[in-house]
Amino acid sequence: MKNYNTISIIGTQWGDEGKGKVVHYLSRDADYIVRYQGGNNAGHTVVFDNKEYILHLIPSGILEHKKCVIANGVVVDPEALYNEIQFLKLKGFKVTKENLFISDRAHVILPYHKYLDVVREKTQKIGTTQKGIGPCYADKYSRSGIRICDYLEEDTFISLLKKNIDEKYPLIKNFVSISRESLIKQIVQHQRKYSKFLKPFVTDTTNLLINVIEKGYVVLFESAQGTMLDVDFGSYPYVTSSNPIVGGISIGTGLPPKYIKKVIGITKAYTTRVGEGPFPTEIKSQLQEFLRNQGNEYGATTGRPRRCGWFDSVVVRHAIKINSIDELVLTKLDCLKGINPLKICIAYKYKGKLYYDFPSSRKIQSLAKPVYISTTGFNEELSNITEYKKLPKNVKRYIELIEHYCGTKIKMFSLGRERNKTIIR
């Protein structure tokens, strides 16, 4: 079979694994970078030329002047995208119809989605970013969504908008003091402004991607969030509203599975999650705050402090299996400096039974106890090491244990936020 030059970058935990840096690092050798799911609830932090950039919708490959694609599986907030492009232009990066392509089939986040997100969060307490992501995906699957191709046709848009407001306003009016007419007027004004801005970028991204892959261009697929936030295979219901797993690429881009080749899993050297939900290896002592400060574990989108815990091989094995991951990248290894001992969860225990696979039961997820092994920590500074063989013995031991219990080789290590603080093995 022809070797299609495609690489998928998948988060193996609850997101925040450092995918942005890895995509930025690998994008030097790529031609196109593709986002295939999620919305501006994602935040990818990249350090480039000693400056920090936080991107939410546009792939971090834009910093390397690569061509970027926002595919049909992404939900797009036009105002958020506009602001992100203005931010990049202000920083000296060109964003034009020649290097950014947006699917005409992507669904649009509108102001009422954000209102509904706030309403839902009050009752569900999932810990969402309240950016309107979930309600927009809900509209997509209830067949009342508005796609970018609809958004660009004003008469089509206004017709669909009025139907949606008729359905949603009775709930919204209980929480927001705005009349139905004023809400429609406000949204139409937004549409007139942002549809003109969006139009040059909009195209059929499925045909675009098939054509460039067939021609041999290198395409990088970038997931937002991580496997454990996948709506089907994560810690449901404390998940995102889309499929960050590798299977989401076909649906989120329209590409047949035959085009999806190498899969790289991004894994943090410990575990974090933002928001509510089960977290078996969460550290319940002052050590959590120490680790949070070491790793600067605060959400790129919301600024919320991330919950921190020990490395969970049950979670990573689950991700490796679901995504058919070929190799791992281990990030933030340097942040474990000064912690002794280091622990790795190798299984869960519930009512005397050991679980080596991540359980679907929300009861077991929340009540299971982690089974740990321990290994000696390290006090050496890692950020200036550039070769694997020069890593301290205890660090190598920790790496070997992760590889053993996950069953997959680690081929790349991130030892700092800057791109050059990276070891290729």
Beta bridge partners of 343: 374
pLDDT, residue 390, reads: 96
For the ranges 38-42, 212-216, 329-333, which has the lowest average pLDDT?
A: 38-42
Query: What mean pLDDT is predicted for residues 160-169?
Result: 94
CB 76 within 8 A of CB 38: no
Q: Give CA–CA dist 145/149, Å, rounded.
A: 11
For the ranges 158-172, 203-217, 297-311, which has the lowest average pLDDT?
A: 297-311
**Rounded CA Rg of the chain:** 22
326 is catalytic: no
pLDDT more than 90, % of the chain: 79
Query: What mean pLDDT is predicted for residues 161-187?
Result: 89
For the cut 90, the answer to whether the pLDDT of residue 121 exceeds it is no
Residue 37: closest CA among 198, 221, 256: 221
Q: Give CA–CA dist 175/170, Å, rounded.
A: 10
Q: Give CA–CA dist 353/105, Å, rounded.
A: 46
44 is catalytic: yes
pLDDT, residue 1, reads: 33
CB 344 within 8 A of CB 313: yes
The alpha carbon of 147 is separated from its chain's Cα centroid by a whole number of angstroms, namely: 22
pLDDT more than 70, % of the chain: 95
Q: Give CA–CA dist 111/361, Å, rounded.
A: 35
Residue 255: closest CA among 211, 205, 206: 206
Q: Give CA–CA dist 23/260, Å, rounded.
A: 16
From the list 16, 77, 139, 150, the catalytic residue is 16
pLDDT, residue 301, reads: 64
pLDDT, residue 4, reads: 57
Q: Give CA–CA dist 293/305, Å, rounded.
A: 10
What domains lie within the chain, and their CATH numbers?
6-102+203-263 (3.40.440.10), 107-198 (1.10.300.10), 267-424 (3.90.170.10)
CB 13 within 8 A of CB 48: no
Question: pTM value?
Answer: 0.93
From the list 24, 31, 44, 326, the catalytic residue is 44
Provide the H-helix boundaries in 223-277: 247-253
Task: pLDDT band for 48, please (50, 70, 90 cuts).
Answer: low
